[in-house]
Amino acid sequence: MTRACNTFKSREPEHIGRTLSMASIVDGHFVKQKPLPRVCLVCGEAVEPIQLTDEYAQKYGHDNIGREYPHGFKNWWVWPRVHNKCIDLEGQHSKTARILARSGLVYPGMKIFESYKPKNESQQQAFQAMWTFADKGGVGRGPGLVGSSGVGKTHLMQAAVYTLCKSDVEARYISLPNWRQEVRSRFKNVAEATSHEFYLKTERVRVLFIDDLGIGKATDWVEEVVFLLMNNRIEWKKSTSIAMDITPAQLGRRYDKDETGEMRIPSRFYRLCQEIITIYGEDQSPFL
């Protein structure tokens, strides 16, 4: 195989800063347990994880992984991003691959529109609205999805992100509680957070999908960061879709009014979303 090796850093704490070069691997990180397959960014087919055995190392030009890296990547697993058969085509798809890498999807392509099975009219309506939004390139305001856990809100949002990214449209998915916790752990105040690339790349992305609005509540400056994120996307007319487990009325009771009497977060929810769709059904999360 004639291909320049790519270099990767392990995300395991004990291996921070260590690198490993492996032929035919385009991206990935190392884990001890066998992970689920990923989706090839070129052909869209499933790509099985690779175990870093001595046999694999010898096949692709490494004498002994365990000896070369004594702290042990031997017998660990790594995700390829493309099939070996697709490596020569990867350059043609590099823009799409870069967009998907910034999308916030842990497993791009695992949740797609084709695998969503509506169980009732409300789920069909949500499916149609989200599919139409993605099919039109994420132009305009996105749908607002309301429903209990497991009815398919996250599935539809991630399917839309994947569809947009495959069309080379910059789109990003965030789970708001996780994103908010990241802000709290990395920054000390509003000014520091909103001037950092972590915040700016979310605020300025072409199409943003915000999941789990209303779960938890930060009572400190972090909530101001969330408000600024939503408000600035309104001001700049950035396309946004939002999903939440609670009703709009419950959302209103969860947030205090400001000095003008306005419920700032709930009002931005209505202004960011084109239509609010309430999804009914049983929890299908194990099957979505």
- How confident is the model over 15-20, as a mean pLDDT? 30
Mean pLDDT, the chain, integer = 78
* CB contact burial 65-84 (16+ within 10 A = b; e otherwise): beeebeeebbebbbbbbbbe
**Phi/psi of residue 127, nearest 5 degrees:** -60, -50
Residue of higher predicted confidence among 72 and 268:
268
- How confident is the model over 145-170, as a mean pLDDT? 94
Residue of higher predicted confidence among 217 and 197:
197
Q: Give the chain's domains with CATH numbers.
A: 6-90 (no CATH), 113-287 (3.40.50.300)
- How confident is the model over 211-216, as a mean pLDDT? 88
- How confident is the model over 10-39, as a mean pLDDT? 47
The pLDDT confidence band at residue 179, using thresholds 50, 70 and 90, is very high
Tens-place pLDDT, residues 68-116? 443 455 677 777 767 776 766 666 567 787 788 889 998 888 899 999 9
Q: What is the pLDDT, as a whole number, of residue 63?
A: 43
Alpha-helical (H) ranges within 32-120 are 54-59, 65-68, 94-101
Tens-place pLDDT, residues 139-150? 999 999 999 999
Share of the chain above pLDDT 90, in %: 43
The pLDDT confidence band at residue 10, using thresholds 50, 70 and 90, is very low
Is residue 251 scored above 70 in pLDDT? yes
Q: What is the pLDDT, as a whole number, of residue 218?
A: 60
* CB contact burial 205-235 (16+ within 10 A = b; e otherwise): bebbbbbbbbbeeeeebbbebbbbbbbebee
Residue of higher predicted confidence among 55 and 216:
216
Q: What is the pLDDT, as a whole number, of residue 55?
A: 67
* CB contact burial 10-31 (16+ within 10 A = b; e otherwise): bebeebeeeebebbbbbbbebe
Is residue 170 scored above 90 in pLDDT? yes
Most confident of 17-31, 53-67, 159-173, 256-270: 159-173
